Structure 1
Amino acid sequence: MPTIEELIKTKPYKDPRDRALINIIYTGSWLVNRINQVLKPFGISEPQYNVLRILRGQNGNPMNLFEIQSRMVQKMSNVSRLIDKLLEKGLVERNERKENRRMVDIFITEKGLTMLKDVDVPLQKSLKNILENLSKDEAAQLAIWLDKLREE
């Protein structure tokens, strides 16, 4: 397996924290690209998949845009645009609330649930292949370190 220095064609880092930071950024992008390769044949992107998974987890209950945005893996300001694209594909529905037209409820459709079922197997297989490089103990330790990085 090539090192991060080999992958981005740079000299070795003097500070291991700099190397770790670049490696985290590079690996995050690499993971998103791998996920998008699996999702591309289904016509959705990783953020769209994330929205659908969030809605599936609601078991038929609606969510508003703010709630969806707060649960996104990648925090982004264009959640309404993501919802619009999913609406066009028939994967979600949007209902305005009668008491407040600015509040909109978003539901996943049967078509959206079916797509997720179709995506789940190849995506889980791809992610399992990636994670096979780590033991369960290594994965647990990595998760602890990543949580620690986000401490302020």
Structure 2
Amino acid sequence: MGIALQKRLLTSKFENSVHEMMINIMLANTFIRMRMDEAFEDTDLTFPQYNLLRILNGAYPAGYSRGEISRRMIDRAPDMTRMIDRLVKRGLVERARSGEDGRQAITTITAKGRALIAPVNAKVKAVHKKVGEMISEDDARQISQLLEKLYGYDAQAMAGGDSED
């Protein structure tokens, strides 16, 4: 067992190495999320809202349907419609009917939304840099490859796809 994990949890007993690994991943997630939350604490945004704005900013000036946004989210938001509604009320995104399919609404980021996340993106890059100072590029690649083994087995489910489509 790693010394940092043992000190953090004040225990040295795990069922097996898989259990230890899962605890390590959860603690690493908490560590990174706390740093990310600090990056946008002055914006009154949640991580999922920031993620949604980042996705739409990448599509700018175009936008995405609710379903496409959901597929691209890091965390699956259970009620995407309400989250978009809250961002519309704040003037950070707009919704309009699709020109191709009038039944579908397309959400786009507004100038206000772009202005809000620009400084946040700089803070997020600072978090990337800080984490990069703790872990080498080679280690980061290796960790990414190993983590993809965990969720890559069911990439379609992770992407919000339906196996019956």
Q: Sequence identity, in percent?
A: 28
TM (normalized to structure 2)? 0.82
1:33 aligns with 2:34: yes
Q: Which amino acid is 2:70 matched to?
A: Q
Runs of 4+ in 1 over 6 A off after TM superposition: none
Structure 1 residue runs of 5 or longer lacking an equivalent are none
Q: Match of 2:134, SS?
A: coil
Match of 1:145 in 2: 146
Q: Match of 2:77, SS?
A: coil
Structure 2 residue runs of 5 or longer lacking an equivalent are 154-165
After TM superposition, give the deviation of residue 142 of structure 1 in Å.
0.6
CA RMSD of aligned residues (A): 2.1
Q: Which amino acid is 1:80 matched to?
A: T
Q: Number of paired residues?
A: 152
Taking the aligned partners of 1:2 and 1:90, their CA distance within structure 2 comes to 48
Taking the aligned partners of 1:85 and 1:29, their CA distance within structure 2 comes to 26
TM (normalized to structure 1)? 0.89
After TM superposition, give the deviation of residue 29 of structure 1 in Å.
2.5
Taking the aligned partners of 1:111 and 1:62, their CA distance within structure 2 comes to 15
Residue correspondence of structure 1 range 122-141 to structure 2 within 5 A:
122-141=123-142
Residue correspondence of structure 1 range 44-123 to structure 2 within 5 A:
44-97=45-98, 102-123=103-124
